[in-house]
Structure 1
């Protein structure tokens, strides 16, 4: 059955700008990805130039509330939220794709919460703008969203750091570029006519430098370059900080020297006009250099074979290369670049090739493939093992005080149509609502206790004879007193995360061997697979350094050896600090260990400035972009997820031989001492093997611990009778 998608953008499809083009592209990509799509319009239809092509698509329905209800103006966010809720109540949808922070905030408090696929753009893009109110609103939106669609990697990383609730839900959905049927890109090669044709399409606003663009033909003529500026669009912004802008802008469009204003046009015609020109303009005010968004117009021009003048930013350098010839910051830069390529065919050809190559990742097919993957993850097809009981879905209860290691497994179980899930979230290790817990016992076919603690003891005493009880045990509980008190006869399966701890559990508890099984920790490899930042191969990483058995001191030993030969090596630590844990800092030996270590780091000339402590948080995937090696130097671990997460991110794992490490990780990554670890790291980088080693590590991770693989193992476990 095709997923049903409801789409709403807080955008006016009567006007051509990036947000309106988003709505077109999103509808087309969802339809191509296999959805039945209903697009709801914000504003009354005054021109069909953007809407009419969508009405003709199979599987797409366009709803205009203004034609169906007594509404005669663009809908406000509160009104739009009410209309969307009513439409969904009449015909339920599987996902609701929404663009616009204010309308998403309204929807997050309504019946569509949990099904939102929120496209985030209009968010504060600096720490200074990120007020407590904005952060709280975005947190509510994230909690209510099943998926958060981010236009760029930069935006995703910023959000995950600023709003932890977005971590794990944020996925990339870059702009979509669709060429209208029959439109041919610009003919290859440099301009074959006397004048250089410049083009701008979109809205007219002060920070978009649209007024300044109208002077370019006149200024280029002074330099001996004949040029025309072709302008498409009719949306002139009224700017409260510059009341005269709209008048000046219109006058320049109507009477500027060498300016040809085509007015508003359907998108296909706007793109046809662009393809008939030589150079696109996306030069903006420096205030916008920190933008976390990518201009759709840049990508459209690239697809059409039209090179673009734009600001030099890290994002644009990654897109087009640092040596791209049409970067510009000032008006003089723009004039210099246009004069240069107007007289240098080779540079013009280089600019065209860069833009065309960059645009290939933003096609409709690429967008549909991304959405198809996200849809499959969100709505998985039942496996060959359909988990039903008496012709109804299997009822699975999950109980525990801390579900952080179970979150994505829980998402997977909830997404299966052959399961019904309820959660008994204990408020603390020993505190819970007994009535709610008993209701779960009365309802469930299977109960999963996350942690072998008081929750497992409680459910083992009350389990029904026809009910299955699965307990997941971590290192923390194995050496506590709860396993000794557990009624193991009432437990069907105890799950450990590594073969070593499975053996230890059998040995320490004396439980029947067949009841203790291994299902490894999951790693969300799709979320962690992000492009590395420049210089990552010289960056070591550790996640979690407390208590002292995590052995940060041994990682510092390895770093010291590396820096004797190459001072570029740096250790990044993402962790709470030991004094943030009262139960650690109250111990004299723990405190003494860290005081000695921090004194060493502070006083050593070799280590000065080489150990960076980053704040603890859920933005691990974003943080790992800068990390080339993830270290595991502990005395003891049950699994140690950090190296596995590093492998998924494209980092190389480096471990010391803690007990059982070889049962989880390939011995290729395990080193006897910090010195041999440092030697291996140094040779991997100096011999140019870092990328190939990272690829090997990622392949191993996907084979053993990727989230879908572990989810299928849990499906097998739950299917047992």
Structure 2
């Protein structure tokens, strides 16, 4: 990081009551402090207990802001802040000391802050309370999430599943979503070995008490276990009992059960560290919940905390829990999560020491991935991307470097532009042409007069114009792709005014020199960038047998050869499928106006419909920004084109740990390792079919390492920055 960022943190949560959301606020501040960030935690409610706040007051760079006690908002008195009031308090604090990032939790709160508009571009929104099913995702909810995504710098998602859901519904979230799972503090006391259980056997539950968390039937477990010949007691920690409108009697019944049920020892609200001590002195944690939560995309902090203490946990069998602990975890509650099922799981833990030890080991291993140190590392990495250090050549300048960017289509520069805007000492302005040959000459002249360096994307009319309007003493850089070489524009460029022409591959650099006759010293190679961090996600089950193609228009992308590969594979094993992510060719007027293009697509689509080997095996997915989540289902990415300048699709697949498979289009072997290049569809299919599960995973890991080394956004941004500041 170039400097110490200044963070404001506010959650729409009451830190007087211990539950997952309150623990999130504490853990977030602890992780930010360890990551080297100055942090102000703003409290929602007046302080009635310091159980969660006191451990924060001595941390480096941490300040706890108490709006009620400090009378920051007239008329608040002793009431918790509403979202409107919270937004007002945050704005006032920002006026006094501007923040670099505002970390918020709670959808209603984030929506209010976004609507007020002050923090656009600085919001880091932690979203869990969003619709988690298609039925709940109304158009109004989606529109609100779009506004939140557009105003946010980062969207913090607790799980991969939640991130993918958000990206699929909100394209504006793509590229902004980062994982921010729960963080569990390492115990600061000796943890018991748990080799021999207590007598009676000790169950433990910590957190809030609510119907969906099965906390009321949980209090019946000691009696139910006694009927099965197991002496047990339940220890509970927490002081937040939900008021549930659908269960008006719940609060009273829950309080009575905690206070008067034989075999239940309620410890009340406790500091997080003391709650962990109490849990550590027990034998088995309870994370068993109602079946309505089985589809939740959130991760239970409770399970991780118990795991950090070496405790096995009884919990529901869900896809999320199977991904965390394995499908063979021995203490799952089956069926409809009935009380009898939970009791049977406890009995198994008591009477089968092997099952109990296996469960404890799995929980301990899972918790080890979610430590506060790991959370601090994630924050440090994200803060380093958003607040990078200035390169020495930029820092040494007497004034900021003025960078102008111009072109009709900047999609291949988006993340580079984001990077340049974050680098201290670089100012960025953009001249966005509305079409290939349409622009505002006045805006162009203003940019040319202002900029120290102008980067023109595509060697088209914009490059011609800027080469003829270059300001003396400035530098002009043009990036040339592929299609421009067959057009008239390179010949119209005043090459004497151009300082560098960037090509994305060595082959196209040579071809550019051959076609244009430009001086060799003017042409250099910087590859396309790949957002390796965003694309690096765990593969979904079955990905090994799924091929992927990204972009099939125009016909020189050769979907027909991809179908050849699929047919050859399905002749061996019907598990193979192909997913195609692309706009259909008829949405490109310049393609669909050509009769030969229409004829080729007619033939290939008829083949998909009529080939017995392809029956039900080809899926066409919508074109969109959610490539990272789409690639989770894809284990092998094809590049079967007749020609390409770079072809980003196999590189993106490699970043996701998919195995790339390319046909030998000219220049492919100068971009990609020859091991991924195959002579024809038959040999490509043969190579993919010969990879067993381990071989496929090893190949994917190698491919991912290669793309990180060569094409990562960080690496390519560094190369561009060096070029920009070079005299």
Q: Which ranges of structure 1 fall in alignment gaps of 5 or more residues?
A: none
1:684 aligns with 2:686: no
Q: Which position in structure 2 is the counterpart of 1:344?
A: 352
Q: Which residue of 2 aligns with 1:419?
A: 426
Please give the alpha-carbon distance, in whole angstroms, between the structure 2 residues aligned to 1:58 and 1:125.
37
Match of 1:74 among 65, 68, 80: 80
Which of 635, 639, 644 does residue 637 from structure 1 map onto? 644
Change in CA separation of 1:313 and 1:506 when aligned onto 2, cut-off 3 Å: same
**What residue in structure 1 maps to residue 310 of structure 2?**
305
The count of aligned residue pairs is: 717
Offset, 1:45: 0.8
Equivalent residues in 2 for 1:404-483, closer than 5 Å: 404-483=411-490
Please state if 1:358 is matched with 2:366: yes
Aligned to 1:141: 148
- For residue 279 of structure 2, what is the aligned residue in structure 1? 274
Deviations 1:380-408 (A, max 9, x none): 2223332654x111011112232221111
- 1:272-671 maps to which residues of 2 (within 5 A)? 272-328=277-333, 329-386=337-394, 389=397, 391-671=398-678
**Which of 177, 181, 200 does residue 184 from structure 2 map onto?**
177
Distance 1:491 1:449 in 2: 10
TM-score (norm 2): 0.96
The CA distance in 2 between the partners of 1:434 and 1:320, in whole Å, is 61
* Cα displacement (A) at 1:180: 5.3
Report if the CA contact (8 A) 1:253-1:261 is conserved: yes
1:22 partnered with 2:28: no
State how far apart, in whole Å, the 2-side matches of 1:143 and 1:482 are. Answer: 36
Q: 2:708 aligns with which of 698, 702, 712?
A: 702
Any conservation in 2 of the 1:325–1:347 contact (CA below 8 Å)?
Answer: yes
TM score, norm. by length of structure 1? 0.97
In structure 2, what is the equivalent of residue 43 of structure 1? Answer: 45
> Is this contact kept in 2: 1:186–1:306, CA < 8 A?
no
Q: Residues 9 and 102 of structure 2 are in contact (CA less than 8 Å); yes or no, is this contact kept in structure 1?
A: yes
Cα distance per residue 1:595-646 (max 9 Å; x no partner):
2212212222211111122221111111111221110000111100010111
Distance 2:263 2:594 in 1: 77
Q: Distance in 1 between matches of 2:596 and 2:400?
A: 53
SS at match of 1:712: helix
Q: 2: CA distance between counterparts of 1:671 and 1:275?
A: 57
Q: C-alpha root-mean-square deviation of aligned residues, in Å? A: 1.6
CA distance in 2, matches of 1:153, 1:520: 29
C-alpha displacement of 1:113:
1.3
Q: CA deviation at 1:55?
A: 0.9
CA contact (8 A) 1:413 1:421 kept: yes
Aligned mates of 2:13, 2:388 — CA distance in 1: 32
- Higher deviation after alignment, 425-434 or 55-64: 425-434
Deviation at 1:574, TM superposition (A): 1.2
Q: Work out whether residues 160 and 179 of structure 2, in 8 Å CA contact, stay in contact via their aligned partners in 1.
A: yes
CA distance in 1, matches of 2:478, 2:311: 60
Unaligned runs of 5+ residues in structure 2 are: none
Q: Per-residue deviation at 1:351? A: 0.9
Separation in structure 1 between the aligned mates of residue 470 and residue 395 of structure 2, nearest angstrom:
20
Contact 2:205 2:237 in 1 (8 A): yes
Distance, in Å, in 1 between the alignment partners of 2:581 and 2:370 is 33
Q: Which residue number in structure 1 is paired with residue 99 of structure 2?
A: 93
Contact 2:477 2:499 in 1 (8 A): yes
Q: 1:439 to 1:105 in 2, by over 3 A?
A: farther
Aligned residue for 1:380, secondary structure, equals coil
Confirm or deny: 8 A CA contact 2:194 2:283 kept in the other structure: no
Q: Distance in 2 between the 1:165 and 1:596 partners?
A: 36
